[in-house]
Amino acid sequence: MVYIFSIISAVLFSLAAFIQHRQAQRTPHSTNLRLSLISKLVKRPYWILGVFLDLLAFLAQFVALKLGPLLIVQPILAFGLTSTLLLEAIFGAHKASKRVLALSCVSALLLALFLATTTFGSSQRVVSIYVGTSLSAFCVVAFLALRFFGDRLNPTQRGIAMGAAVGTLHGIATFTTKVLTTTVASYGFIGALSKWPIYSLVIIGAIDVILTQSAFQKSSLSVVMPLINVLEPVIAMALGATILAETIRSRLGGFGLLAILGTIALLSVFVSRSASVLVIQADQNQLNS
């Protein structure tokens, strides 16, 4: 069941990101990294649809993380994020190349092989409130740094910085969600209200929403999604391995995981390049006309 809920979450997150990016691109850039951006977006029905899909994806992710470790869920979610780029390639201004489609198939096959041949281990460690406080503080500092110093960067640098920040925050949010599932299992939903994970997740989630929509507003998916694809699973799984003591019991599993992430990274780069070329061509056509 963990695989099923992970796949459902991945598909819903992909659709949500695709819809929200298109809506954020149509808002005034003066609202970037401000609450006024959200106030503009809530007036758009399709953006609300994207948020609804995000909530459904989070619920599916919550169930998946309750049933299995980050080392199972994250590779599936990472492939799902890559499918956002494929949606842009298929329904956007350009078609997916044969190389992109081939890498997508390879990623899916590697993922299936990895999940079928690997066993995982984890422990029920109690995560200190200091860990949650530190992660929340890091997210706040990252947001403030982009808010007050991001204008000093050129558009490309700003897009890269925001994509990296979003990927990192996604990874931290996923890790915190995993801790929350353990807390709910131990204390129940009512008891979890007296523990730190739910409040840390609210803080990180609020920052993540503003930062993600701002990244969608300022940059194309071809810029931000490759960074999110790579950083989110790496951050989440690194935190899971170091803090929650999650492990891969098979050496082949470790190599398989690296192969999956490497293929996903290559897939992101190829889609990004093809998208960037078409954006440049479109700009040139506008200038010529």
Run means of pLDDT, 10 residues per run, the chain, 289 residues: 88 89 87 88 94 95 91 77 66 58 62 64 77 94 90 80 90 94 92 94 94 85 73 85 78 61 62 50 48
pTM of structure? 0.80
What CA–CA distance (Å, rounded) separates 289 from 283? 10
8 A C-beta contact, residue 174 and residue 162: no
Give pLDDT, residue 287: 47
What CA–CA distance (Å, rounded) separates 211 from 206? 9
DSSP assignments along 222-272, one per residue: HHHHHHHHHHHHHHHHHHHHHHS--EE--HHHHHHHHHHHHHHHHHHHHHH
What CA–CA distance (Å, rounded) separates 184 from 6? 19
Give pLDDT, residue 58: 95
Angle in degrees, 0-180, between the axes of helices 155-192 and 129-149, rounded to the nearest 10: 150
8 A C-beta contact, residue 219 and residue 162: yes
What CA–CA distance (Å, rounded) separates 21 from 53? 13
What CA–CA distance (Å, rounded) separates 281 from 289? 12
- 3-class state of residue 120 by DSSP: strand
- Buried b or exposed e, range 118-139, using 16+ CB within 10 angstroms: bebebeeeebeeebbeebbeeb
Give pLDDT, residue 278: 43
Give pLDDT, residue 230: 74
Domain regions of the chain by residue span? 2-288
